[in-house]
A = this chain, B = another copy of it.
Amino acid sequence: MAIWNGKVLNLCFLWLLVSTVLLNGADCHSWKKSKLPKPCRNLVLYFHDIIYNGKNAENATSALVAAPEGANLTIMTGNNHFGNLAVFDDPITLDNNLHSPPVGRAQGFYFYDMKNTFSSWLGFTFVLNSTDYKGTITFNGADPILVKYRDISVVGGTGDFLMARGIATINTDAYEGDVYFRLRVNITLYECY
């Protein structure tokens, strides 16, 4: 049952015309848009993930904790890592240098969820604790890794980022085999308190 079929669209279009003339504003049930507020805050941060592979316990910042039947937890699964779930506590830096002084920790989980390509899903929080930022920002969303820039949702925040909403545009800034990756996170907030 397509809800955007011809009839609905036509009615919708008519109503749009009428309401634009009479009410000085579009009011079609299925399409009513609000004006997007201007972004109120923008942050660019990097985080660095080093996954445990059985040999790097000292440096690792994340570990596989779940995998499909037959897999183990020190080697990524073959089907584009499908089903691998990792828990992480990664340093956040202001630039792309792993050894820069961290401004906080990215904490959460990701898992790979496609068999025929690399793609993941993220649930994590930036726990920021520096001179400039104190508070948390929480993110949720699909991360189609092979797309250069992909957006996930900012679903909440605390402290300096109380009630934050918006999006984060992620790109993979570096990737070294299955062990290390670095994400650049460009956060655009539309609600700031």
Binding site for B on A (CB under 8 A): 1-4, 29-36, 38-44, 52, 54, 63-69, 72-74, 82-85, 87-89, 94-96, 107-109, 111-115, 119, 121, 123-125, 127, 132, 136, 138, 140-142, 144, 151-159, 162-163, 165-167, 190-193
CB neighbours (8 Å) of A4 from chain B are 132
CB neighbours (8 Å) of A69 from chain B are 52, 54, 63-64, 72-74
Closest residue of B by beta carbon distance from A126: B142
This chain: copies in complex = 3
- Contact A85:B66 (CB < 8 A) given known A34-B191, A42-B30, A125-B121: yes
Tell me, in angstroms, the Cα distance from A96 to B1 when the chains sit together: 8
Tell me, in angstroms, the Cα distance from A65 to B67 when the chains sit together: 5
- Contact A190:B163 (CB < 8 A) given known A29-B39, A114-B89: yes
Query: A69-B73, A151-B158, A153-B155 known; 7 other A-B pairs, CB under 8 Å?
Result: A1-B44, A32-B41, A65-B68, A65-B111, A89-B114, A108-B142, A109-B111
Q: How far is the CB of A167 from chain B (nearest CB, A)?
A: 5
CB neighbours (8 Å) of A163 from chain B are 36, 165-167, 190
- Contact A89:B119 (CB < 8 A) given known A69-B74, A114-B107: yes
CB neighbours (8 Å) of A124 from chain B are 121
A108 partner, pick from B121, B155, B157, beta carbons under 8 A: B121
User: B65 touching A83 by the CB < 8 A rule?
Assistant: yes
Closest residue of B by beta carbon distance from A95: B1
CB neighbours (8 Å) of A82 from chain B are 63, 87, 89
